Structure 1
């Protein structure tokens, strides 16, 4: 409870601004389109974190507990944009997230947006 009360104002204002612009909050549990991962998106300090809750096939190096730390702000429409840091791989991505009530699409890029990957997600209960 204290953690929720102490949530930094910048994150609260960013999500509030997104909600005013019609962007659904990305908080919750999401299943990746390929069915290989389930993640929870939740506040973590002044940022958002996507934490792996379940991995069907860990052969690609993904593991339960892996985390992506995101700094996002409203970009327009239903889009949030900013950066994401993967501490396991020590990589920072440019990230855009299109948020809907039941669907989420992420586009992460590295190397000056030369290498990009788009992933679809669906909200789970």
Structure 2
């Protein structure tokens, strides 16, 4: 076989195997997850047929500028800008969209906006979190945390 065809076959095998690998990752997304930057922990739990996620820990729970507990001060809605960061819901209605995968909206407290998002359990202790605005997408991997 020519090398180009071998390369195509190899890519095809990886792509065809990928859904099976994701399904085998399976497991439970519920639990406490440490963000990739290590600055927050999020409790992911089932809420009805969806997944919900709430901040339960911050590396810096006190805002150094005010000396008070950190609040959602980037939120453009003045009524929400004083919400405490601990207890802040990041997502509340992630719907199943495949094996070990959920889709919906995620709130980014760093800029006060919500984004189209996908969450996928890629292993027993890894959660891939993706967010998109238009064609621009970003992602990070969260790791399961004991507490």
Q: TM-score range by the shorter chain?
A: 0.5 to 0.7
> What's 1:96 paired with?
118
The offset of 1:55, in angstroms, is 1.2
Question: How many correspondences in the alignment?
Answer: 100
**Which range moves more in the overlay, 44-53 or 60-69?**
60-69
> What's 2:142 paired with?
121
Alpha-carbon RMSD across the aligned residues, in angstroms, is 2.7
The offset of 1:29, in angstroms, is 0.5
Of residues 32, 39, 45, the one that matches 2:48 is: 45
Of residues 36, 40, 48, the one that matches 2:39 is: 36
Q: Any unmatched runs of 5+ in structure 2?
A: 1-22, 64-69, 73-84
1:106 aligns with 2:109: no
Change in 2 beyond 3 A, CA 1:55/1:26: same
- Find the aligned partners of 2:102 and 2:126 in 1 and give their Cα distance: 16
> What's 2:14 paired with?
none
Of residues 52, 56, 59, the one that matches 1:56 is: 59
> What's 2:29 paired with?
26
Larger radius of gyration: 2
- Find the aligned partners of 1:98 and 1:47 in 2 and give their Cα distance: 13
Q: Any unmatched runs of 5+ in structure 1?
A: 1-20
Change in 2 beyond 3 A, CA 1:57/1:47: same
